[in-house]
Amino acid sequence: VEQGLVNLINNAIKYSDAGQTVLIRAHDSVDAILIDVIDEGTGIHANEMERIFERFYRIDKARSRDLGGTGLGLSIVKHIAQAHQGTVTVKSTPGEGSTFTLRLPMG
């Protein structure tokens, strides 16, 4: 779980400009712990959303390569969530940022 959060936080920082905020928020629901990683970065277009959790998929290949990305980070997050019977989801608006939510069941 720690590695999954590290990947989400690193991506939030990587795809945000200097001076933009990255927020990590944890809260519980009736049956799960929810951890949100919220950034004010570049955001993700709707046509990219269904593929971002695939292995080796990179939205901005040039920027990812320049910053050292392999396209594995979000795939790893997805598999970590699934290993704990959880999920990872994203809400994003291009130019405004993204919110990734890691949902882990309690118990």
Q: What would the pLDDT profile of 17-67 be if each residue is shown by its tens digit? A: 999 999 999 999 999 999 999 999 999 998 888 888 887 767 665 544 455
3-12 average pLDDT score: 95
5-27 average pLDDT score: 94
Interatomic CA distance for residues 34 and 39, integer angstroms: 16
Q: Are 95 and 44 in contact (CB under 8 A)?
A: no
Interatomic CA distance for residues 71 and 20, integer angstroms: 23
| Beta bridge mates, 23 | 38
The model's pTM is: 0.85
Q: What pLDDT does 66 receive?
A: 54
Cα distances from 13 to residues 8, 18, 22, 41, 63, in angstroms, run 9, 9, 7, 8, 13
